[in-house]
Amino acid sequence: MKTPYVVFALGLLLFFGSCKKNQLGGKSTVRGQVAHHEKMIPFARVFIKFNAKEFPGSDTSIYDSRITTGADASYTFNCYKGDYYLYAFGYDDAILKNVKGGLPLKVRTNENITANLAVTED
């Protein structure tokens, strides 16, 4: 009589354990640009912290992944549903200063999000 319960429990464990969340590689897409006021910041670094709703800090070693924007200051990555924090920094050659900023992001399954990152002077 215990066999059906064990099979059922294992099925539930496999079902809920296989749901991916808070990691890269899913079917949701996040894209955007890094800008200081209206000036695009090419080749800025965008750091991604998984399972974060608030700014985790400026120590980039604690972030889970990173990408670099292109010459047009744009970035794109695919991820699974979850909460992410994006933190970017770069250099604004018009004012000769480093710029940085971030934003929290909630991603749903199969969602396409445009998340432009506004950065400010240090």
Can you give the C-alpha Rg of the chain in angstroms? 19
Would residue 104 count as lying in a domain?
yes
Confidence of residue 21 (pLDDT cuts 50, 70, 90): confident
Element (H, E) at 102: strand 97-107
Residue 33 and residue 101: Cα distance in Å, rounded?
12
Would residue 112 count as lying in a domain?
yes
The CATH number of the domain holding residue 28 is 2.60.40.10
Q: Which domain holds residue 67?
A: 21-121
Would residue 74 count as lying in a domain?
yes
pTM for this model (two decimals): 0.82
Would residue 107 count as lying in a domain?
yes
Percent of the chain with pLDDT over 90: 80
pLDDT tens per residue, range 51-74: 999 999 999 999 999 999 999 999
Spatial CB neighbours of 26, under 8 Å, sequence gap ≥ 6: 20, 78, 79, 80, 81, 109
Confidence of residue 2 (pLDDT cuts 50, 70, 90): low
Confidence of residue 92 (pLDDT cuts 50, 70, 90): very high
**Most distant CA pair in the chain: distance in Å?**
74
Tokens of 40: 């695009």
pLDDT tens per residue, range 5-19: 544 544 444 444 446
Q: What is the mean pLDDT of residues 92-103?
A: 97
Tokens of 112: 């396409």
Please tell me the total count of domains within the chain: 1
Nearest to 66 by CA among 39, 96, 37, 34: 34
Confidence of residue 20 (pLDDT cuts 50, 70, 90): confident
Would residue 10 count as lying in a domain?
no
